[in-house]
Amino acid sequence: MKLAPDQCRSLLDDLAQLADPRQRRGRWHALATVLAVAAAAVLAGAKSLTAIGEWAADAPGPVLAALGVRRHPLTGAWRPPAEATIRRVLARVDPDTLDQAIGVWLAGQQPPPATRPPPATQPAWRRAVAVDGKTLRGSGHHPNPQVHLLAAMDHTTRAVLAQTDVDHTTNEIARLRPLLDSLDLAGWVLTADALHTQREHADWLVTHKHAAYLLVVKANQPALQQQLMTLPWREVPVADHTRDRGHGRVETRQLQVTTIAGLDFPHATQALRITRRVRPLAGRRWRAVTVHAITSLTAAQASPARLADWARGHWGIEAHYHIRDVTLAEDASQLRTGTAPRAMASLRNLAIGTLRSRGHRNIAAALRRNARDAARVLPLLGITSP
């Protein structure tokens, strides 16, 4: 069951906790109001700061009032934040606290897990979080590097729970722990690509975060990759098989899994081989890709079907990035000032996660629907409609 809008706390309440980076003198709009107006505009399909300013200028008075906008004391006219104000705020807001506030708010909008308890003979189902990075292509120009972000996304709800910068002087590996530090991952499964298949990360996840992992293994762990590739896979039966037809292609996936003692990786108990075969609907030629992976979960803790779901579910974060790029034109954005590129990415995460939590599967259609009536965005933000 989805949460009703009146059951959700207002986003304004969470944004009000952020420190305002502006000087007090000359400040007309509260920080929470400026950010809420920007969030509402993005929920209505705004793809740029110019579009956000235009949405605010055109929004009806009752909608602006619900977002915290004040009237001019003499003329009584509504004075929404202008594009210049929104630009200054997004360029100077603390991105870490903004992402934390959005992540906490999105987590609070999700329905509770299924209440039906699993049979006593089966282990409890775990939730999974996917970690992956993304470069904002239009955010840099020589000599300034492009902004690169690392995010953690809930497999089930597709909500981005945390996001952090990856400075050009470091890499995603060094930023994984700061990304996950604020999340309670006890009982969760982390999925990641081969870049994050690091011994220190695996030990930290299991020992300190009390989480499990499902990690792809490639050449950056040569000894472990060789160990997995030389296993007698021909003797291991296929434990899970799926076939999908759509998006102009046919895809089959086969998963083999086996328990191996002495895997050359901390806490690893099972090895996986996933064989994916794809062909276009109009063709006959198959393209096959084989991937090896490891997990800290035992056979009693996770069935082959669950492992297959998590392996495939990891790519939901790529789908999320695709929506940001194609539907919300993130890579086409030339925004480069201060923290504004990351703040806009955060607002796009907020919009997509909010619409997902309300059951919208077609994000583009939902944005168009919101654009036709400015008041529709208010319940999505937990704000009482005018």
pLDDT in tens, the chain (386 residues): 233 444 456 898 889 999 999 888 878 899 999 999 999 999 999 999 999 999 999 999 999 999 999 888 878 788 999 999 999 999 999 999 999 999 999 988 866 554 444 444 444 558 999 999 999 998 887 677 899 999 999 999 999 999 999 988 889 999 999 999 999 999 999 999 999 999 999 999 999 999 999 999 999 999 999 999 999 999 999 999 998 887 777 889 999 999 998 898 999 999 999 999 988 888 888 889 999 999 999 999 999 999 999 999 999 999 999 999 999 999 999 999 999 999 999 999 999 999 999 999 999 999 999 999 999 999 999 988 66
| pLDDT at residue number 24 | 86
Helix ranges, the chain (H): 11-15, 31-43, 49-58, 61-66, 83-92, 95-109, 172-180, 199-207, 222-229, 304-313, 316-326, 340-357, 363-371, 377-380
Residues 6+ apart with CB under 8 A from 83: 49, 50, 52, 53, 54
The answer, as to whether pTM is greater than 0.85, is yes
A 10 A CB-CB count for 69 gives 22
The whole-number pLDDT of residue 250 equals: 87
Rounded CA separation 129/107 (Å): 12
Number of H helices, E strands in the chain: 14, 9
Question: Of the candidates 133, 44, 171, 136, which has an alpha carbon nearest to the alpha carbon of residue 342?
Answer: 136
How far apart, in whole angstroms, are the C-alpha atoms of residue 178 and residue 129? 15
In eight-state DSSP terms, residue 294 is E
φ/ψ region of 385 (left if φ > 0, alpha if ψ in -120 to 50, else beta) reads beta
* Cβ(101)–Cβ(94) below 8 Å: no
Residue in the block written with tokens 């602006």: 64
Distance CA 42, CA 60 (A): 16
Backbone torsion region of residue 288, taken as left when φ is above 0, otherwise alpha when ψ lies between -120 and 50, otherwise beta: beta
**What is the pLDDT, as a whole number, of residue 284?**
82
Report helix, strand and coil shares of the chain as percent, to nearest 5: 40, 20, 40
